[in-house]
């Protein structure tokens, strides 16, 4: 995927879309929408163009128009790389979704793989790996024989874990992220896998980590059962979530990430034979100038 598939494949349509972006940036939303609609008349199968039109219409206050544009995205591409399903949920035009579409998550991280480390750590103060390692080590100094880093990304968590494990394996949905992780040379094995349908045939691990990956899943029942099954007796599961401020178990946020409640986490751990060792609130990073408060959790099987 090109960055949000910048080209429609039609030079004139691309030019109109560029002008639409310029008008949008200056606040002339109605004119931007009109020009974007004109671009799509020339390139009616441009999936990411329809998605962008929906964003412009939502900003204009035209919720019906936005819903129609995002519905068109799903008609053209049911796998939903742009994440139109989540946009429809957020505007109340689709039922709640238990997870982000896998194709959306994969495309999102493939797009940002090249600049992920510098953007996340350098600009957004990303600190989830540091908090997780601190929480793990607080359970006692220990060297882990086998650690599985689920949703390993470019290896930011793996870099923290490497001195404390014998064998380190990383799994991620994004091929772009895995290539960056491989360049660091810190993993004994890397594999492409969808966490929502994760299957592992190797030996039981004594540490399973998921840093900032479960935020793309709402319902965690299946993945928590999977994680518990990966662990040997006495093994640790460590993960981060974004904290749900309101009521309920989980909720989709405007960021198109999910937030989860402490009570939901406690119930899931107990249901899967995991004993909670620590659950702390920490600031995981900044997002649009605001701190993201997260939950840093460690449990033992």
Cα–Cα distances in Å, from 85 out to 82, 108, 206, 215, 297? 9, 14, 37, 16, 29
Dist. CA 271–CA 180, nearest whole Å: 36
Residues 244 and 279 in one domain: yes
Alpha helices in 77-144, H assignment, sequence order: 84-90, 102-112, 116-117, 128-137
Residues 137 and 84 in one domain: no
Residues 11 and 143 in one domain: no
Across the chain, the runs of DSSP E, i.e. the strands, are: 144-150, 165-172, 189-192, 205-210, 231-243, 250-252, 258-260, 275-287, 290-300
Answer yes or no: are the C-beta atoms of 168 and 188 closer than 8 Å: yes
Domain endpoint, select from 70, 95, 120: 95
Q: Which residue has the tokens 């049911």?
A: 78
Residues 181 and 228 in one domain: yes
Compute the C-alpha angle 141/146/147, nearest 5°.
80
Residues 15 and 121 in one domain: no
State how far Cα 181 lies from the chain centre: 17
Answer yes or no: are the C-beta atoms of 279 and 262 closer than 8 Å: yes
pLDDT of residue 2: 36
- Please check whether residue 106 lies inside any domain of the structure: no
Dist. CA 21–CA 52, nearest whole Å: 10
Phi then psi dihedrals of residue 250, to 5 deg: -155, 160
- Please check whether residue 179 lies inside any domain of the structure: yes
Both tokens assigned to 143? 């060297």
Alpha helices in 113-247, H assignment, sequence order: 116-117, 128-137, 156-161, 175-184, 221-230
Q: Which residue has the tokens 């039981």?
A: 204
Dist. CA 208–CA 223, nearest whole Å: 12
Residues 131 and 213 in one domain: yes
- Please check whether residue 105 lies inside any domain of the structure: no
Residues 165 and 232 in one domain: yes
Number of domains, the chain:
2
Residues 133 and 253 in one domain: yes
Q: Counting every residue, how long is the chain?
A: 301
Residues 174 and 56 in one domain: no
Dist. CA 185–CA 181, nearest whole Å: 7
Dist. CA 103–CA 153, nearest whole Å: 16
Residues 244 and 203 in one domain: yes
Dist. CA 134–CA 114, nearest whole Å: 28
Answer yes or no: are the C-beta atoms of 202 and 226 closer than 8 Å: no
Domain endpoint, select from 49, 69, 95: 95
Residue 236 lies in domain: 112-300
Dist. CA 200–CA 193, nearest whole Å: 10
Q: What is the CATH number of the domain that holds 77?
A: 1.25.40.10
Full pLDDT tens readout for the chain, 301 residues: 333 456 888 899 999 999 999 999 999 999 999 999 999 999 999 999 999 999 999 999 999 999 999 999 999 999 999 999 999 999 999 999 999 999 999 999 998 888 887 877 777 888 999 999 999 999 998 899 999 999 999 999 999 999 999 999 999 999 999 999 999 999 999 999 999 889 998 999 999 999 999 999 999 999 999 999 999 999 999 999 999 988 899 999 999 999 999 999 999 999 999 999 999 999 998 888 889 999 999 999 9
Residues 146 and 48 in one domain: no
Which residues make Cβ contacts (< 8 Å) with residue 204, sequence separation at least 6? Answer: 146, 230, 231, 232, 235
Residues 227 and 277 in one domain: yes
């Amino acid at each position: 995927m090109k960055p949000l598939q910048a080209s429609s494949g039609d030079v004139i349509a691309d030019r109109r879309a560029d002008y639409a972006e310029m008008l949008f940036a200056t606040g002339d939303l109605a004119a931007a929408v009109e020009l974007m609609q004109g671009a799509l008349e020339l390139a009616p199968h441009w999936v990411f163009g329809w998605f962008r039109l929906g964003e412009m219409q939502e900003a204009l206050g035209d919720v019906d128009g936005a819903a129609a544009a995002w519905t068109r995205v799903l008609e053209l591409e049911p796998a939903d790389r742009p994440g139109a399903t989540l946009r429809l949920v957020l505007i109340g035009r689709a039922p709640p979704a238990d997870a982000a579409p896998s194709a959306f998550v994969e495309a999102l991280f493939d797009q940002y793989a090249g600049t992920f480390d510098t953007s996340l750590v350098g600009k957004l103060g990303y600190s989830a790996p540091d908090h997780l390692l601190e929480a793990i080590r607080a359970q006692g100094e220990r060297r882990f024989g086998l650690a599985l880093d689920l949703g390993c990304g470019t290896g930011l968590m793996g870099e923290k874990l490497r001195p404390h494990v014998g064998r380190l394996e990383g799994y991620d949905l994004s091929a772009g992220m895995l290539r960056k992780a491989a360049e660091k040379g810190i993993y004994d094995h890397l594999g492409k896998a969808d966490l929502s349908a994760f299957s592992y045939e190797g030996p039981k691990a004594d540490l399973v980590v998921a840093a900032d990956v479960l935020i793309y899943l709402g319902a965690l029942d299946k993945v928590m059962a999977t994680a518990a099954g990966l662990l040997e007796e006495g093994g640790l599961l460590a993960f981060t979530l974004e904290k749900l401020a309101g009521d309920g178990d989980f909720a989709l946020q405007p960021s198109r990430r999910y937030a989860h409640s402490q009570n939901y986490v406690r119930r899931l751990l107990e249901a899967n034979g995991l004993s909670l060792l620590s659950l702390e609130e920490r600031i995981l990073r900044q997002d649009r100038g605001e701190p993201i408060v997260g939950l840093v959790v460690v449990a033992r099987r």
